[in-house]
Amino acid sequence: MEQRQKSELTRQLILDESFKLFYKNGFESTSVDKIMKATNLTKGAFYHHYKSKKALGLEIISSKLQKRVYDGMITPLYEDGNVLTILENTFSRRLKSFSLFDKKHGCPMNNFINEIADKEEAYQIALKRIIEEWKAALIHLLERGKKENTINKSLSSNAIAIYLISAFEGVRGIRKLYNDDTILNEYITGLSLYINQLKA
């Protein structure tokens, strides 16, 4: 195997295993030693690819976390179709798609925000970028709805976007306290009621 390809596979292994450990156990409690144990690599291999755990954390945010939010919550907002249906489907479908592990451990991005965003400006900037792009996609969709007369023009698209993101992230965190999906199902019912109030 070519050295460059081998190096890339090693880097990807570190990323994949680190993400799993951070998601399950938290960023602060996951040491480089624990990552190396999970990957069966040496510390030399780690430091060949990353200057520090902070550098690794930033790459996890910009690759793993960003991809999850883009694939699940941003890309669907740019699809063609009825704006109200897209809104409801994007949020409810995403909640229904999560594995039991995802439900038990909450949203990895939100976990990062709660654990480390206030400790390091670099983390804050990287995480805020994802939220801002999610918010922008929602505002774009809502403004399209206003032009198409499906969304009430007097409502603030910015306020709706922030509310939808906050409520979604909140229920992901609250679900960690429960052993079943009752809270998620109630959220989905509430979401439907809320979206219905946005109609023109």
- pLDDT, one tens digit per residue, over 13-50 is 999 999 999 999 999 999 999 999 999 998 898 999 99
Please compute the mean of the pLDDT values over residues 110-123 and round it to a whole number: 93
- Tokens 């007369």 belong to 149
> Would the pLDDT of 149 be above 70?
yes
pLDDT at 119: 87
Domains of the chain: 1-56 (1.10.10.60), 63-198 (1.10.357.10)
User: Residue 58, Cα to own-chain centre: how many angstroms?
Assistant: 14
The whole model's pTM is what? 0.94
Please compute the mean of the pLDDT values over residues 101-121 and round it to a whole number: 94
Structure tokens given for 164: 């939808």
Neighbouring C-beta atoms of residue 56, cutoff 10 Å: 23
Residue type present at position 6? K
pLDDT at 153: 97
